[in-house]
A and B are shown apart, each in its own frame.
Chain A
Amino acid sequence: MKNNADIRQRRDRMIAGLLRWGTWFASMLIAMGMLIGVAGYWDDAPGYGKQVAVAGIAVFILLPVMRVGLMLVMFLRERDYAYAVISSSVLAIILASSLIGLWWN
Chain B
Amino acid sequence: MEAQRPRMSEISILLLFAAAFGASALGGVLGMASGIFIVPILTLFFGLDIRIAIAASIVSVIACSCASAAPFLKAGLTNIRLAIVLETATAMGALTGVFFIGLIPESYLYGLFAVILAVSARQMLARRREKTITSEPDPRSWAALLRLHSDFPDKTPGRSLAYQVGHVPLGLILMYGAGLLSALLGIGSGVLKIPAMDAALRLPIKVSSATSNFMIGVTASASAVAYFISGDIDVDIAAPVALGSVLGAFAGARLLLRIPAERLRLFFVLVLSLLAIQMLMSSVGIELPGGLS
Contacts and interface: CB of A to CB of B under 8 A. Distances in A.
A60 to B, nearest CB: 5
Contacts of B236: 50
A103 B5 CA distance: 35
A62 B221 CA distance: 7
Given A23-B63, A83-B81, A104-B226, A64 B221 contact: yes
A22 B88 contact: no
A1 interface: no
Most buried by A among B70, B88, B220: B70
Interface string B80-97: 110011011001101100
Contacts of B87: 68, 90
A57 B239 CA distance: 7
A20 to B, nearest CB: 4
A100 B225 CA distance: 9
Given A41-B9, A57-B235, A93-B92, A16 B70 contact: yes
Contact of B228 (A9, A61, A87, A93): A61
B186 interface: no
Contacts of A65: 218, 221, 225
Interface in A8-24: 8-9, 11-13, 15-17, 19-20, 22-23
A38 interface: yes
Nearest to B65: A64
B27 interface: no
Nearest to B99: A100
B94 A97 contact: yes
A30 B221 contact: no
Contacts of A15: 69, 73, 80
B178 to A, nearest CB: 14
Interface core residue of B65, B71, B218 (most chain A CB under 10 Å): B218
Contacts of A87: 84
Contacts of B5: 41
Contact of B235 (A50, A71, A86): A50
Task: Identify whether the interface residues of A are mostly helix, strand, loop, or mixed.
Answer: helix
Contact of B220 (A30, A64, A98, A101): A64
Interface residues of A, number: 52
Interface stretch (B41-49, B119-127, B240-248): B240-248
Contacts of B10: 38
A58 interface: yes
Which 3 pairs of residues, A with B, have the shortest CB-CB distance? Answer: A101-B229, A101-B226, A64-B217
Interface of A: 8-9, 11-13, 15-17, 19-20, 22-23, 26-27, 30-31, 33-34, 38, 41-42, 50, 53-54, 56-58, 60-65, 67-68, 71, 82-83, 86-87, 89-90, 93-94, 96-98, 100-102, 104-105
11 contacts: A19-B69, A53-B239, A60-B59, A61-B224, A67-B218, A71-B80, A93-B95, A94-B91, A100-B98, A100-B226, A104-B102
Interface of B: 5-6, 9-10, 13, 59, 62-63, 65-67, 69-71, 73-74, 76, 78, 80-81, 84-85, 87-88, 91-92, 94-95, 98-99, 102, 146, 217-218, 220-231, 233, 235-236, 238-240, 242-243, 246-247
